[in-house]
Amino acid sequence: MSSPSRRRTEALSRERIVDAAVALLDEAGEGGLTFRALSQALATGPGAIYHHVANKEELLAAATDAVVAGTLAGEPEGSPRDNVRALALGLFDAIDEHPWVAGGLTASSWQATSPRIFERVGRQVRDLGVPQDRWFTVTSVLMQYILGAAAQNAANARILGPDVDRDEFLGAVSTTWEELDADEYSFTRTVADQMRSHDDREQFLEGIDLVLAGIGTTVPGTGTT
Amino acid sequence: MSSPSRRRTEALSRERIVDAAVALLDEAGEGGLTFRALSQALATGPGAIYHHVANKEELLAAATDAVVAGTLAGEPEGSPRDNVRALALGLFDAIDEHPWVAGGLTASSWQATSPRIFERVGRQVRDLGVPQDRWFTVTSVLMQYILGAAAQNAANARILGPDVDRDEFLGAVSTTWEELDADEYSFTRTVADQMRSHDDREQFLEGIDLVLAGIGTTVPGTGTT
DNA sequence: ACCTGAACACCGTTCAAGT
DNA sequence: ACCTGAACACCGTTCAAGT
């Protein structure tokens, strides 16, 4: 606006590229992120992108980091338990909304994004009263459950797609389970109706509570209260 | 041997293709599975594979299933807790040895492989004395932790590669953590030395025990004994 | 029915050439 | 310094043609 020379297109920048990548990933999924599609969205050539980003892997990592960083904004204000739940649910919802983030996280684990999450979770573990020599392990386990469960949920969401009805899908899976071999899959058949009526978000929170309860048993005084 | 007509090459079959795919994936990683490389290993043309396998996704799912089915062979004979630990460790080791299995599992979740694992885990959950109306949730949570933690471990193994020294790598990550911003990463800095000396397998088992302890709190009588 | 392998429509990435 | 876009070396998948 102020300078007429950049009236038509903003100069290319890492930030603009990452934003466009996020938009593309949201629209078309992990397979939709292409240097050709991206350069078209940015009205430039495929080669131009390499001036701001080393390669596709780094671009996916940057897009993932942008989404995760957004969910971690703001200081937590509740009890450690409530903060863990809020943190976990924030990540769960972000990965549910942007399923490609799950793949981005496992692809770039020990990079920038994971320490960000680790720090947030770890502070709550510390405030939970976990003894210091168990901080690393407990934080790792909690983070593994959060990201693992969210990733598996995202995988299901990807199969579903945005146009398939969820109830219909769960019903179909449930029916498949009921028709499994009676001897080989006796347990799975028994819980087929529980799977039909379950809620992913609720189940995720129950999982968090279960892990927290497990932590509580090693920290007498921070139990299920 | 018996019939001279198949002296040179065994006829192509789904089983031979899947076996060759597993070998290729083990050698060259997820990116190494190529219809050209695969057809070369099988001394045939790329098009021939499509007579036995629908596409690459199905092939990866079949390869994943082959590996997982192998780890689930044999009936468990110990206490439910021991069986869960053995089951979890078997999957952890298999995914550690074949890191591409992690990707294959999230790609083909509600297909053949997941019910197989679910059933095995679920039977132990049942034998643990968990009330029936919680079977689905508890089994799902346990399975999510097992696969999630194993997948994240595999991601690290992939970064490491077979030629990088593990201690050196952990030392480097630990040093990076120690040099993080003191305010923003106070927790992470504190546990940097714990991360340097940790053992992945041991930490995984501690996670299993923690989840089991959490389950125990909801099943009085199946506690930490 | 099964296999062949060229061909199609894509990829990520590079690099001479331009501004 | 940044951008262009053709070119390279790949992909998964298809399909006429063979046996």
Q: What is the DSSP string of B114-161?
A: HHHHHHHHHHHHHHTT--GGGHHHHHHHHHHHHHHHHHHHHHHHHHHT
Contacting A residues, span 8-67, partner chain B, CB-CB under 8 Å: none
Which of chain A's residues 37-96 bind strand D, using a 7 Å CB cutoff? 43-48, 51-52
Q: Which of B109, B137, B217 sits opposite A159 (nearest CB)?
A: B109
In whole angstroms, what is the distance from residue A14 CA to residue B85 CA? Answer: 46
The predicted structure's pLDDT at residue A24: 98
What is the band of B221 on the pLDDT scale with cuts at 50, 70, 90?
low
pLDDT tens figures, B88-127? 999 999 999 999 999 999 877 677 889 999 999 999 999 9
pTM of this prediction exceeds 0.85: yes
Q: Which of residues 124-163 of A touch B (CB under 8 A)?
A: 126, 132-133, 135-141, 144-145, 147-149, 151-152, 155-156, 159
Return the closest nucleotide (C1') to the Cα of B31. Answer: D11
CB A129 under 7 Å to nucleic chain D: no
- pLDDT tens digits, A109-160: 677 899 999 999 999 999 999 999 999 999 999 999 999 999 999 998 887 7
Angstrom distances, CA of residue B167 to CA of A109, A211, B196, B204: 17, 29, 8, 18
Q: Is A183 left (phi over 0), alpha (psi -120 to 50) or beta?
A: alpha
